Chains A and B, each alone.
Chain A
Amino acid sequence: METIYSVLGSILPLEAYQYNFMKNAFLAILLLTPLLGLLGTMAVNHQMAFFSDALGHSALTGIGLGIILGLRNDLVAMLIFGIIWAILICVIKQSGSASADTVISVFSSTSVAAGLLILARGGKFAKYSALLIGDILAVTPGDLLWLLLALVATLVLWALLYNSLLLTSVDSFLARSRGIKTRLVECAFVVMVAVAVMLSIRWVGVLLINALLILPAAAGRNIARSSRQHAVWSVVLALFSGIVGLTLSYYLDTSAGASIVLVSALCYAVSLAVRSFRK
């Protein structure tokens, strides 16, 4: 870790990056934003922006249930609940009993209400309010290892599933006619998003996590013409927003998560302009 710190210190000659907490945050951004950027491309293609928002909200319930069940590790509780919740939404959505956004809305509001009910017992919600806005400066080297593992695992799964997901997002019946198990593929993707969201939520916050997933991918989509360009732009914009946002937040003394999201939003605005200029 010390070697990484000293390397970072020398390649980032800014006052902000003389502190280890900033270096940790920087490393977390390097791991987190490409992960969310890549997953985001498919979330956008599958029109799942609202879905990932609902997933973020379910983190509240996950922590709440973890407390009730006596789980000491919040992250484990969130992961388990997030995955179950994601699969449930996916299955109900696929059964086609109601339109997707209705299903998602039901799940989203239910999980927020259940989470609040548990966490705000006896007026103690203030203890958990950090969860809403996140704190990327609280990242520890141990967290970074988790993030690295998640990034590698996600990249492997992502490589295996990408083409099937792509065909499914174009036309699921056509994909099935070519032997793709579309339901399984969709559920696997949803689980990947759930894991990525739950891993990042403590640092980015329930309120902003979805923006990190969707904004760079949406901006990339405005500029890209092919799948490859979409992935590249999405990752580049996610990294750019993450690093610029984090650095600005130090000098402006603002919330890191909010700064990152605002930089992404700016990228999105520019991408819209680029797109209309091209047309």
Chain B
Amino acid sequence: MPLHHCELCHIDLDRISVRRGGQILLQDVSMHIHCGQLTVLIGQNGAGKTTLIRALLGELPHSGLIRHVDGRGLDIPHLRTGYVPQHLQFDREMPLTVRDFMAASFTGRPVWTGVGKKTRARVDEALAAVNAEGLADLPLGRCSGGELQRVLLALAMNPSPDLLVLDEPVSGIDRNGLKMFLDTLLDLKKTHHMAILLVSHDLRFVREYADHVVLLDKSVLAQGSAAEVFASPEFSAVFGYSGEEEEAE
């Protein structure tokens, strides 16, 4: 898979605002999401994290600019995003294997007519990249939370995105599944050198894995390294305790 040509390319969010029905959901959110880095969005429920993701994916109308820029500050046309939703609200009884699900996203050939050799191999390869070999012939509804997240990650990674967006992908997964998922994610970050934006409530995880942390409450309250953000007065104001206390626990 091709690597990005430049270590300094980034996605530049410039004063993103979202209003709906006279209510301000996001106000002037500006931030950079660097490639090769794991950027984590934190904030209370209702702080606008999912709204920001939806705006970023073009699902919600917004004002402000989203640019994909290379190291010299020049625009790169097209921003290819991969998206891993928090959970799938689907009918678990649906007769649909993991292979059907992925093949339907990869090709135009209707999957009820079968999955061709090439696509079959592509699905296997995509699943292997997230350590999910062996899931292909399982019905999608039988996958555990962790397995489903891997499948969704495999899907989001194909075609290889410039920006991978994950909306709280670690909720509802057991400890082991979580560790495996995060290791896979870090692995992908290294090998593909893409920008990753992740929403998380798990502050311990944020401290351990995040390269860049953004604290959001309608607008950006603080951003920087995990240590910087956790030590900020805004962090204590939002979470009711300081990052140092959490560490002492």
Q: Whole-angstrom distance between the alpha carbons of A170 and B89 in the complex?
A: 7
Interface string of B79-113 (1 = CB under 8 A from A): 00101010011110111110111011101111111
**Which of these, A162, A176, A226, A229, contacts B110 with CB under 8 Å?**
A162
Question: Can you list 15 A-B contacts (CB < 8 A)?
Answer: A47-B91, A159-B110, A159-B113, A162-B112, A163-B103, A163-B107, A163-B109, A163-B111, A171-B85, A227-B95, A227-B100, A227-B112, A228-B112, A229-B95, A230-B95
Determine whether the beta carbon of A163 is less than 8 Å from that of B85.
no
Q: Hey, which chain A residues are within 8 Å of B88, CB to CB?
A: 170-171, 174
Give the Cβ gap from B236 to chain A, nearest Cβ, in Å: 34
Give the Cβ gap from A95 to chain B, nearest Cβ, in Å: 14
Interface string of A211-243 (1 = CB under 8 A from B): 000000000110011111111100000000000
Q: Whole-angstrom distance between the alpha carbons of A262 and B27 in the complex?
A: 60
Q: Whole-angstrom distance between the alpha carbons of A231 and B114 in the complex?
A: 11
Q: Hey, which chain A residues are within 8 Å of B140, CB to CB?
A: 170
Give the Cβ gap from B52 to chain A, nearest Cβ, in Å: 14
**Which of these, A159, A167, A228, A230, contacts B114 with CB under 8 Å?**
A228
Interface: B59 (CB within 8 A): yes
Q: Hey, which chain A residues are within 8 Å of B111, CB to CB?
A: 162-163, 166, 227-228
Determine whether the beta carbon of A166 is less than 8 Å from that of B96.
yes
Q: Hey, which chain B residues are within 8 Å of A159, CB to CB?
A: 110, 113
Contact count band on A? 20 to 34
B84 and chain A: residue at smallest CB distance: A174
Give the Cβ gap from A235 to chain B, nearest Cβ, in Å: 10
Interface: B180 (CB within 8 A): no
Q: Whole-angstrom distance between the alpha carbons of A174 and B152 in the complex?
A: 9
A167 and B105 in contact, given A162-B110, A173-B85, A174-B83 (Cβ under 8 angstroms): yes
4 tightest Cβ-Cβ pairs between the two chains A and B: A162-B110, A231-B112, A224-B95, A177-B83
Give the Cβ gap from B36 to chain A, nearest Cβ, in Å: 22
Give the Cβ gap from B180 to chain A, nearest Cβ, in Å: 22
Give the Cβ gap from A167 to chain B, nearest Cβ, in Å: 5
Determine whether the beta carbon of B95 is less than 8 Å from that of A177.
no
Q: Whole-angstrom distance between the alpha carbons of A159 and B111 in the complex?
A: 9
Interface: A249 (CB within 8 A): no
Determine whether the beta carbon of A225 is less than 8 Å from that of B110.
no
Q: Whole-angstrom distance between the alpha carbons of A278 and B99 in the complex?
A: 22
Q: Whole-angstrom distance between the alpha carbons of A166 and B113 in the complex?
A: 13
Determine whether the beta carbon of B105 is less than 8 Å from that of A221.
no
Q: Whole-angstrom distance between the alpha carbons of A224 and B155 in the complex?
A: 24
Determine whether the beta carbon of B81 is less than 8 Å from that of A45.
no
Give the Cβ gap from B198 to chain A, nearest Cβ, in Å: 15
Which residues 226-277 in A have Cβ within 8 Å of B in the complex?
226-232
A45-B94, A224-B95, A226-B139 known; 6 new pairs, CB 8 Å cut-off, are A171-B85, A173-B85, A228-B100, A229-B95, A230-B95, A232-B112
Q: Whole-angstrom distance between the alpha carbons of A122 and B140 in the complex?
A: 56
Interface: A110 (CB within 8 A): no
Q: Hey, which chain B residues are within 8 Å of A47, CB to CB?
A: 91
Interface: B57 (CB within 8 A): yes
Q: Whole-angstrom distance between the alpha carbons of A181 and B140 in the complex?
A: 23
Determine whether the beta carbon of B81 is less than 8 Å from that of A177.
yes
Determine whether the beta carbon of B90 is less than 8 Å from that of A169.
yes
Most buried by A among B88, B100, B114, B140: B100
Interface: A21 (CB within 8 A): no
Interface string of A136-177 (1 = CB under 8 A from B): 000000000000000000000011101110110111011011
Q: Hey, which chain B residues are within 8 Å of A164, CB to CB?
A: 104
Q: Whole-angstrom distance between the alpha carbons of A210 and B161 in the complex?
A: 43
Q: Hey, which chain B residues are within 8 Å of A166, CB to CB?
A: 96, 100-101, 104, 111
Interface: A121 (CB within 8 A): no
